Amino acid sequence: MALIISGLGVSRGIAIGNVHLLLRSAFEVYERSLEADEINTEVKRFKSAVDRAAKQLKKIQESIPEEAPKEIASFIESHLLMLKDSMLSKAPIEIIKEQYCNAEWALKIQRDKLVAVFEQMEDEYLQTRQNDIDHVINLIQKMLFDQQYEVAEEIKTLRGSIIVADDLTPADTVVLQNQNIAGFITELGGPLSHTAIIARSLGIPAIVGIQDARLLLKEEEQIIIDGSEGMVLAGVDDKTIREYKDKQKEEREARRRLESLRDVSAKTKDGVEISLQANIELSEDIKALKNSGAKGVGLYRTEFLYIDREEPATEAEQLTTYRKVIRALKGYPLTIRTLDLGAEKEFDPQYQGPLAQNPALGLRGLRRSLKDTELFKLQLRAILRASVTGPVRVMFPMLTSYEELMIALTVFDQAKRELKEEDKEYDADIDVGAMIEVPAAALAANRFAKQLDFLSIGTNDLIQYTLAIDRIDEAVNYLYDPLHPAVLKLIQLTLQAGNKANIPVSMCGEMAGDPRYTRLLLGMGLREFSAHPTTVLEVKAIVNASSIKELEPQCKRILSAATRPDKIHSLVDSLNNGA
């Protein structure tokens, strides 16, 4: 009898293979009180564990093949940097000395402090970075328990296997990626976890968030995973396997057709040029951007310059980073989003005071930058100085009020004046825009558009704020609906505001990269899309097969059905099916 298990599909495609359960030795951490004369020995024991963990990661780093995706190496490097950071290398030592406790317990206390901070962050990508904290801490704990890295030891011939694990660390992936794995299934993780990012970069189907997957699936059992649908099929018969093998073949042919569009312009059948750009996080993402055929970066996240470190990056460090990306783009535009963090004390891992009661409605985005205008100005100076290297735009996140915008623009002007006084070059005509991701901003978009050079709709937060739901909360994420009439109305208002002010409006949320909504957005007037590199070619294929003149009247009918959510979904389905 077939068993169907649902999870979160984070890397598309179909995989058929035998299960390999990645089991790990579990260990419990207990508190042990120490005598004063035991403290120095315990500190040395902790330091030794950190050193051995670093050596283990370096050994794995050296084994990374040259052709491996750059994301893997960058994740390993970030874990090595975390081992050196005082939040993991020194803070537990202070806890050992202050509380007279064993190293394992001190490390657990520090882990709980760090995770508490990350859990207060509203940004979904930043929340997933607590997985990296756990992976590094677990590696140190293993060294304290005198356990060696297990994956390499238990590995066998895994060609064509589907790995089922609680989670996969970047180090696991290095060990596994040369084995020609068919796919991944993990019990933990989300769409922005490193497991998901690596799976997409490798082009491997992956499903995460399946609780008890290692109990539901058996070793060597043949299963099917559909990364597009987030579905696992076990106990399947030969007929089902043949059907999915046919689907695999169809997917491969479709992928080849998409790849043939890489160097083709994005233009509708009636001649309307559409801008397709990509969202990136690190300079290593540019390889994926080029493979997608995207013509620039519509969203460059800069939070990595601030997290996992005691002090934010200096102006010089930021300048070097931005220039590296600009040069790699070779003339394509780069839109840099200024700092978008949400936890009040995200730069201070030692902070023990109260955290925000509701970080989603607290000090985050632009309001966080305006709380520390010197830090904000430092980033703006770095962006301005980088702008002479190539085309750059600045984008403020989470704009809410007109007063906020005026203050942000004043700080921006101050940064320009300072650079001019210091005889440092910058592009005086650099474009400044803002993200529309709060309902208040969409409703006031007409006023904002008069002061800005462009707007960008961040649908992830816009949908969550409009519908008052957290899409990663399993209790309410079924309510997350990009086609909700209120969401579509806010998108429409923003597009109309840009059109009236004669400035471009882009969309950089996940909705922009979802092929289900491409025709609707084209018909509503969106002409600039920025999405994850893996989705750009699919969007381009739909753009090139569409006619704006045909879509516009159909989309008007969809928007007029605002009181019937079920009707909207039905009409969008018809729109996509050419009905």
Pick the residue with more confidence: 22 or 451?
A: 451
Do residues 49 and 118 both lie within one domain?
Answer: yes
Query: Once rounded to an integer, what is the mean pLDDT over residues 183-204?
Result: 78
Q: What is the pLDDT at residue 40? A: 93
C-beta of residue 307 within 8 angstroms of C-beta of residue 341:
yes
Q: Among 105, 124, 144, give the residue marking a domain's end.
A: 144
- Whether 244 is covered by a domain: the verdict is no
Give the CATH number for residue 549: 3.20.20.60
Mean pLDDT computed over 293-300: 94
**Which has the higher per-residue pLDDT, 190 or 372?**
372
Q: What is the pLDDT of residue 348?
A: 47
Are 12 and 60 members of one domain?
A: no
Section 121-143 average pLDDT: 74
Q: Which residue, 207, 181, 211, 212, is CA-closest to 196?
A: 207
- 270-290: string of b/e by CB count within 10 Å (b at 16+)? eeeebbbbbbbbbbbbbebbb
Could you tell me if residue 352 is inside a domain? no
Q: Has residue 203 been placed in a domain? A: yes
Query: Which distant-in-sequence residues (6+ apart) come within 8 Å of 478 by Cβ?
Result: none
pLDDT, tens digit (0-9, with 9 covering 90-100), for 417-455: 999 999 999 999 999 999 999 999 999 999 999 999 999
| Model confidence at 94: pLDDT above 80 | yes
Q: Which amino acid is at 39?
A: I
What is the pLDDT at residue 25? 56
Q: What is the pLDDT of residue 126?
A: 58
pLDDT score recorded for residue 349 = 43
Highest-confidence segment of 7-11, 55-59, 103-107? 103-107
Query: Does 337 or 359 have the greater pLDDT score?
Result: 337
Q: If pLDDT is split at 50, 70 and 90, which confidence band does 358 have?
A: low
What pLDDT does residue 142 have? 85
Between 570 and 561, where is the model more confident? 570
Q: Are 102 and 83 in contact (CB under 8 A)?
A: no
Answer with the residue of higher pLDDT: 126 or 7. 7
Last residue of a domain, one of 117, 144, 171: 144
328, pLDDT greater than 70: yes
Q: What is the pLDDT of residues 239-274, one digit of tens each?
A: 999 999 999 999 889 888 988 999 999 999 999 999
Q: Give the pTM.
A: 0.72
Q: Which residue has the higher pLDDT, 213 or 285?
A: 213
Q: Is residue 48 part of a domain?
A: yes
Determine the average pLDDT of the residues in 527-532. 94
The domain total for the chain is: 3
Phi and psi of 483, rounded to 5°? -95, 10
Q: Which domain holds residue 218?
A: 3-23+150-238
For 154, residues 6+ apart whose C-beta sits below 8 A from its C-beta are none
**Do 49 and 133 fall within a single domain?**
yes
Active site amino acids = 194, 508
Q: Verify that 550 and 571 share a domain, yes or no.
A: yes
Q: Does 119 score more than 70 pLDDT? A: no
Residue percentage of the chain with pLDDT more than 90: 52
Whether residue 138 sits in one domain with residue 219: no
Q: Within this chain, do residues 399 and 498 fall inside the same structural domain, yes or no?
A: yes
Distance CA 437, CA 491 (A): 10
The sign one gets for the Cα dihedral 41, 44, 46, 52 is negative
Does residue 56 register a pLDDT over 90? no
- The band of 579, judged by pLDDT with boundaries at 50, 70 and 90, is low
Whole-number pLDDT of residue 309: 67
Question: Model confidence at 124, in pLDDT bands (50, 70, 90)?
Answer: low
Distance CA 216, CA 229 (A): 19
**Co-location of 450 and 377 in the same domain:** yes
pLDDT for the residue 129: 66
Q: Are residues 181 and 52 in the same domain?
A: no
100, 120, 144 - which closes a domain: 144
Question: Can you give the C-alpha Rg of the chain in angstroms?
Answer: 25
Residues 467, 567 share a domain: yes
